[in-house]
Structures are given as structure tokens and as C-alpha cells.
Structure 1
Amino acid sequence: MLKEPGFLNNTFLFIMFSKRHIILSLSFAIWLQLFTATRSQTAVDDKSSQEEAYSQAIAARSRAIVDKLELTDEDCVQRTEQLIAEQYRALREIHDSRDAEIASLKDTAGENEQRVGVLIERVRQDSLIKQFNLHRSFVAQLAVELNSDQVNGVKDGMTYGVVPATYARYLQKLPNLSEDEKRTVLAFLIEAREYAMDAGTSDEKHGWFRKYKGKINNYLSAAGYKM
């Protein structure tokens, strides 16, 4: 039996619509795949660019620190620059890992804030231990390449020269300091520098010096000086 023309037309339209739908679906799928791949590649490129910029920044910073040491052995210059740059990078890895763990714990805190607070403090302590071990190894490697004054020069370079500048200001403002008091003030500043070397930002570095300036002022106030 022959089918009615209307039925044939409807069948034809259905087939054409289905084909069009399939083509559109495939086109969208291809576009989505290309879009996702492009975004992924862009993210990779951005990360690569950021890493390159960071590498250049710490290399320039390390070079500026070593330049002030006035070393004459070019091989020693290169090794020292590399040591400093690697220290900056290793510290960043410790800080980034710490911050990521803390952020993750805060996101899952919910109502158990006290428990999460304990875990966050544990993360901070673990990070400090890693920093301490890294710091000790770094200073030891510097001591192989440099004399004590040059090692201190690196430490001052990594902390913006705060120790000599601040110590000079104390001596200027308080010319009557005894030798013991001078040594105590300098010892506080040097201790602050050891912590500041491992800080991740400029503000954190200066924060350590602010803390120890407070200790110095308390010490000098107790000794009878008007601070």
C-alpha cells in the first residue's frame, strides 16, 4: 500500500532535522573541546610565563646581593648567586605548600573550628621546622664560599640592610650606650635578621624587625633610657 504524501513529507523533515541536530551537536562538541584545550593551554602558558618572570626576578635579586660583596672569583660569584636564587625558590615552595594546606583546612572547617585551629597550628609548626632546616643548610653552604663578613652581607642583602641601618640609628640617637648595651641591641637585630631571611614577603620581613625593635625598646627603657 502506498503511503500518503503527508507521511512521506513528515518522514523527510524528521530525517533532515535529525541530521541537522547531529551536525549541530558534533559541531558544539568539537567547539567545546577546542575551547577547553585552548583555555588549558592558555593556563599552562600563563603559569610558564609567571615562572619565567619569577626566575628572572630572583636571579636579578641574587645578582644585586652578590654584586655588593665585590667578589673577584667569577666561579664563586656564580655559585653564590645560584645558592641565593635556590634559597628563594625553596622558601617559596615551603610557603606555598603551607598556605595551600591552611586554606584547604579553613574551607572544610564547618563547625569544628577548634579542631581545625589545632591542625592549622600544626601545619605552621611543620613549615617552621622545614624553614629552619633549609636555613641552616643555606648558611652552611654560604660559609663554604664566603667569609663571615660576606655571609653577613648576603643576610643583609636578603633583609634590605635593616640591621646595619637600624643599629646606626640607635647609636646616633643614644650616644651614651655602654658597650654591653650596644652588643645587646646588635644581638637582638641579628636574631631578627635570621627570622626575616626566611619570611616570604617584604611586610613579613619588616614584621620581624618591628617585633625585635619592641624588645630592644623595652630593654633600653628598663635600663633607664627614654625611648
Structure 2
Amino acid sequence: MKRYLLAYNSCVSNKLISSVSSSLRLFSACKALHLFIAFLSVAVVHAQANKTADSAYLKVITERSAKIVNTLSIKDSAQYKRVVSLLAQQYNSINNIHEETKLALAAIKQQSITAQESALQVQKQEEKKVAQLQQLHNSFLAGLQKVISEEQIELVKNGMTYNVLNVTYTAYLDMIPTLKEDQKKKIYEWLIEARELAMDGESSDKKHAIFGKYKGRINNYLSAAGYDLTKEREEWQKRLKAKKESSK
């Protein structure tokens, strides 16, 4: 009889342990499910936020592209939409390259490596960005050449860079009327080079900074040629003031 009671107690105990174990497993599974649902909810909210931000950015660059294309006098609606699409895609691709580079550079800073190793990785990342932008730049121009003329492509380039090339070149000619033809040519070539780089800038400030760098180069070139830029600028301002007063 005692043996049967022991057996019965053992059986009840095993069932109880099994039941508790099952409950614990169920609790763990439910907890894991709740955590997964919470994580999924956060991910969905994050994805929706990104989607909203992406949609807003797409709207901005499409409107910006349309303003530039409006200067091309395109009559065919299909051609017009094609050029707007190419330009908007270019803006988006440029932004993606710059954002990916920023993330990569931030990741480098978080690594436990020497300053020399960090500098080397940063240099490689910058070189990668330059190569990607150059490839994208060439592809973009090749795409434009299939749908619009060279004159219209010039307008697109100027539109993407706020017409800084023409404004700056005109200013130099007006400021220094005695510029020689070879000097004018050199200034224009540098501004063309600046424009090509500025087209791939990720912001207005970056684009203007690129032109600023080339303006510094031009100023050094003119100073070396014997021009007193401070004096030339002062005389230019006097002429502009006199012209403004005479037009009143």
C-alpha cells in the first residue's frame, strides 16, 4: 500500500512539475511574442516615419526639378516629364551617396582603432564617395543627352548650381575691365570646373563652398598677375554706385 502511495505521489508531483514547466514555457513564449510585437510596432512606426520623410523629400526635389526644367522651353509633355524625372532621380541619388558616406564615417569614429587607421579609412571612404559621384554625374549627363540639346543641358547645370558660374564670371569682367583674353578664358575654365563639382553637392551651402574655393584660386591667380583686387573692388563699387544713382 505504501508503495502505491509513493507511486501516486510521484505521479502527481511529476504532473505538477510538468504543468508548471509547461506554464513557464507558455509564459516565456508569450513574453517573447509581446517583445516581438513591441519591436515590430516600433519598426513599423519608424518605417512609416521614414516613408513620410522620403515622400516629403521626393516632393521637394520634384518641385525643384520642375522649376529648372521650366527654363528649357520644352513643349512635348512626355519629354518634359522625362527630364523632370531624370533630374529628380539625380538629386535623390546624390543625397543617398552623401548620407551613406556620413553613416560610414560615423561608424569609423566608433571603432577602437588608432588615429592613423581611422584617417586611412576616412580617406578611403571619401575616395569611394568621389568615385560614386563621378560615375553618377557621367551617367546623368549621358541620360540628358538622349532627350535634350547641349544648350538645354547647360541650363540644367546652371539651374542645379544657382547660376553662380555666370553671375561670378560677369562680376569679374565688370570688376576688372582690363582683363586679357587668356585671363578671361582661365577664369571661365575654373568656374566651369567648379560648376561640375557643385552639381554633385548635397546642399546649397556645399555648392557655394565649392565655388568659394575656386574664387580663392582665381583671386590668387589675378593677384599673381599684378592686379590689386582690393583696389579693383573699391573702384567697381564706386562705378556701381554711380550707375545706380544716375538711373534714379
Q: TM-score band (shorter)? A: 0.7 to 0.9
AA aligned opposite 2:159 = G
Match of 1:107? 110
User: SS of the residue aligned with 2:72?
Assistant: coil
- Selected match of 2:169 from 153, 167, 170: 167
Unaligned runs of 5+ residues in structure 2 are: 1-26, 230-248
Shift of 1:36: 3.9
Matched residues in 1 for 2:41 and 2:151: separation? 52
1:192-222 deviation per Cα after TM superposition (whole angstroms, max 9, x unaligned): 0000111112221111101100111111112
What are the equivalent positions in structure 2 for 1:1-227 lying under 5 Å apart?
A: 35-108=38-111, 110-227=112-229
Q: Which moved more, 1:38-47 or 1:121-130?
A: 38-47
In structure 2, relative to structure 1, the CA distance for the partners of 1:177 and 1:100 (3 Å cut) is same
TM-score by length of structure 2 reads 0.76
TM-score by length of structure 1 reads 0.82
In percent, how many aligned pairs have the same letter? 36
Matched residues in 1 for 2:134 and 2:177: separation? 36
1:51-72 deviation per Cα after TM superposition (whole angstroms, max 9, x unaligned): 1001101100110110011222
Structure with bigger gyration radius: 2
Matched residues in 2 for 1:148 and 1:27: separation? 65
Shift of 1:40: 2.5
AA aligned opposite 2:99 = D
Matched residues in 2 for 1:168 and 1:202: separation? 21
Shift of 1:30: 7.7
AA aligned opposite 2:59 = Q
Runs of 4+ in 1 over 2 A off after TM superposition: 24-41
Matched residues in 1 for 2:118 and 2:135: separation? 26
Matched residues in 2 for 1:117 and 1:161: separation? 35
Shift of 1:148: 1.8
Match of 1:12? none
Unaligned runs of 5+ residues in structure 1 are: 1-23
Matched residues in 1 for 2:146 and 2:204: separation? 28
Residues paired across the two proteins, number = 206
